[in-house]
Amino acid sequence: MDFKNKMLRDGALQDKVIVVTGGGSGLGKAMTHYFLELGAKVAITSRDLDKLKNTARELEQSTGGTCLPVSCDVRHYEQVEEMLNQVIDTFGKVDVLLNNAAGNFISPTERLSANAFDTIIDIVLKGTKNCTLAFGKHWIDSKQPQATVLNIVTTYAWTGSAYVVPSATAKAGVLAMTRSLAVEWAKYGIRTNAIAPGPFPTKGAWERLLPGDLAAQFDLSKKVPLQRVGDHQELANLAAYLVSDFSAYINGEVIVIDGGEWLKGAGQFNLLEAIPEALWDQLEAAIKAKKNK
């Protein structure tokens, strides 16, 4: 089976209404495309309404689904409430919130201004909080029996990472929020999960993170035990499963999809893979000789 194949059966998300923040491009667009193919109605949000309209038109033409573009800056709670109301006015309800909007750049932390640091915190952590709180309050007040929040985090939400400190700080907060609300809001029928993707190249994000010829110098596929980066359909498959009713007993989980990259970086002796076979032969012979003394 090809890992680029679609996973769920046709109609798996029929009658679902899904909101995808940051849905105008990249991974948000890829996930939205698959949700539409599976029968969901999807609202995509970002600050750039013209871009959203073009994306929505393209997605509707390619899938035959219904995609609603809604301008929203997730950093501002009142805009999130307006976006939520617009989705409800259009579709009558909302079942799923996918917090995908993010921002990031690489920089030594001492080179960052306070404003630059705040920008990432506001989009990633405050934006996720704003959307989750607004949607959660609506679901609880309206006594909706089932709802799902799916957050996109990253593996360095656990470990931290140099040179992306604002992002690591914000994603760690989202990770804690995911697990906390999974317990607190389960009694309302709200499931809260997250995905921690590894390298999934997107034009916009990767050009910001690895500008110029840095992408060629830092081949991220070499950091992955499977020796490749992720395909967008793989992430879309996982996201679709986690927002579908097939995952109804999964709550508070954070699923890593990175080909083993995180584990490779975490293992103390993983760098030994650079040792050539001939040297391993010498080391083995030396160990046996020592045992025989």
Assess contact for 235 and 197: CB atoms under 8 A: yes
> Which residues are the active-site residues?
156
Q: What is the pLDDT of residues 99-127, one digit of tens each?
A: 999 988 778 889 889 999 999 999 999 99
- The structure tokens 């003394």 sit at 293
Q: What is the mean pLDDT of the chain?
A: 89
Q: Is 81 helix (H, G, I), strand (E, B) or coil?
A: helix
Find the helix or strand (DSSP H, E) in which 70 lies: strand 67-71
Q: Mean pLDDT across the stretch 3-16?
A: 81
Q: What is the pLDDT of residues 165-205, one digit of tens each?
A: 999 999 999 999 999 999 999 999 999 999 999 888 876 66
Has residue 282 got a pLDDT over 80?
A: no
Q: What is the pLDDT of residue 242?
A: 98
Question: Which phi and psi (to 5°) does residue 43 adopt?
Answer: -105, 130
Q: Is 71 helix (H, G, I), strand (E, B) or coil?
A: strand
Judge residue 267's burial from the number of C-beta atoms within 10 Å of its C-beta, 0-12 exposed, 13-18 middle, 19 or more buried.
exposed
Copy the structure tokens of residue 19. 């909101």
Query: pTM for the complete prediction?
Result: 0.88
Strands of 96-99's sheet in order across? 67-71, 41-46, 17-21, 96-99, 147-152, 190-197, 254-257
Report the C-alpha dihedral over residues 224, 229, 234, 235, rounded to 10 degrees.
Answer: 90
Has residue 229 got a pLDDT over 60?
A: yes
Find the helix or strand (DSSP H, E) in which 97 lies: strand 96-99
Q: What is the pLDDT of residues 13-45, one digit of tens each?
A: 999 999 999 999 999 999 999 999 999 999 999
Assess contact for 31 and 100: CB atoms under 8 A: yes
Has residue 257 got a pLDDT over 70?
A: yes
Per-residue CA distances from 192 to 50, 60, 88, 121, 285 (Å):
31, 28, 21, 21, 53
Q: What is the pLDDT of residue 266?
A: 74
Q: What is the pLDDT of residue 137?
A: 98
Has residue 50 got a pLDDT over 90?
A: yes
Q: What is the pLDDT of residues 65-97, one digit of tens each?
A: 999 999 999 999 999 999 999 999 999 999 999
